[in-house]
Every structure is written in structure tokens, then in C-alpha cells.
């Protein structure tokens, strides 16, 4: 019996690097699938909403802008008005919609008493929702 040397073939060496090309391919396919299906998911639920009185479709919150400048001038929706005209227009606005908000913009130099007078005129006209408009500190 002859014992010979058996030659062994080299087995392939394991790769120490990750091949990302298939991963990128799979991820791109998933992104395309999500882009196509996402709009379909938002309108997937069909509801028959009940009808109710009270609000009209598309009713936006109503407001009037009331401004006081340094000189004490009054401006309703950016138009100058006298105190008598202000009371008339605020009363007419309150009769149309009592939930109308008054957005009060007063210069910082206006005395507090004057601001309170204007607020009182709005409240007497029937408008009880009053908001104060200010600028952020960063400006």
C-alpha cells in the first residue's frame, strides 16, 4: 500500500466585508412601495358623518382687528375711526356674530387707561372675546 500525499483544495475564505448593494436595492423597493401606498392609507376609512346644525362648512373663526397708535388714534380693521364710529361698528359686528373675537393691538406707549377704555367699549358692544396681539421677544 502506497500512502501518498493527498492534496487538499482551498476552501473559499469567508468575506470580511459587507456587500451593501443588495441592501440598498431592497430599501429602495420598500421606499417606492411606501410612497405609493401612503396616500391610499389616508383615505381608506370612509365615514358617513352625521349632519348637525350650528356651523357652516368652511366657517373660519371671525375676528376684527382693533389698533391703538402712539397718538391715541383708533383703527378698526386698519381703517381710522372715531370713538363713536367704533361703538357703532362694534355693536353691528356683535349683532351679526356675538362670538367674533377682537384682536387688540396697542402701541407700548399707549397708557393702560386708554387700552381699558377701548376694551370696555368692545365689551359694552357685546364682544367678550378679546385677544392681545404682541410680537415675540426675538424680533
Q: How confident is the model at residue 3 (pLDDT cuts 50, 70, 90)?
A: low
Report the distance separating Cα 101 and Cα 60, nearest Å. Answer: 12
Architecture, CATH, for domain 63-132: 2-Layer Sandwich (3.30)
Please tell me the predicted confidence (pLDDT) of residue 116. Answer: 92
Please tell me the predicted confidence (pLDDT) of residue 8. Answer: 75
State mean pLDDT over 17-28. Answer: 91
Whether the CB-CB separation of 23 and 30 falls below 8 Å is answered with no
Q: Whose grid coordinates read 362648512?
A: 57
Report the distance separating Cα 97 and Cα 12, nearest Å. Answer: 84
Higher pLDDT, 88 or 18: 88
- CA 78 to the chain's CA centroid: 24
Q: At what angle do helices 83-96 and 112-125 cross, to 10 degrees?
A: 40
Q: Does residue 120 have a pLDDT over 90? A: yes
Q: Does residue 66 have a pLDDT over 70? A: yes
Whether the CB-CB separation of 112 and 75 falls below 8 Å is answered with no
Higher pLDDT, 5 or 130: 130
Q: Does residue 122 have a pLDDT over 70? A: yes
Please tell me the predicted confidence (pLDDT) of residue 123. Answer: 92
Of 1-15, 43-57, 68-82, 95-109, which gets the smallest average pLDDT? 43-57
> Mean pLDDT in the chain?
82
State mean pLDDT over 9-19. Answer: 80
Amino acid at each position: 500500500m502506497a500512502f501518498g500525499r493527498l492534496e487538499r483544495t482551498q476552501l473559499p475564505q469567508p468575506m470580511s466585508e459587507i456587500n451593501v448593494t443588495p441592501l440598498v436595492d431592497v430599501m429602495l423597493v420598500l421606499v417606492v412601495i411606501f410612497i405609493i401606498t401612503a396616500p391610499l392609507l389616508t383615505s381608506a376609512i370612509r365615514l358617513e358623518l352625521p349632519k348637525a346644525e350650528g356651523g357652516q362648512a368652511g366657517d373660519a373663526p371671525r375676528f376684527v382687528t382693533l389698533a391703538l397708535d402712539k397718538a391715541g388714534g383708533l383703527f378698526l380693521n386698519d381703517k381710522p375711526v372715531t370713538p363713536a364710529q367704533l361703538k357703532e361698528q362694534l355693536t353691528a359686528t356683535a349683532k351679526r356674530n356675538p362670538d367674533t373675537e377682537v384682536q387688540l393691538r396697542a402701541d407700548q406707549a399707549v397708557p393702560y387707561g386708554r387700552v381699558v377704555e377701548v376694551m370696555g367699549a368692545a365689551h359694552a358692544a357685546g364682544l367678550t372675546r378679546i385677544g392681545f396681539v404682541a410680537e415675540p421677544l426675538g424680533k
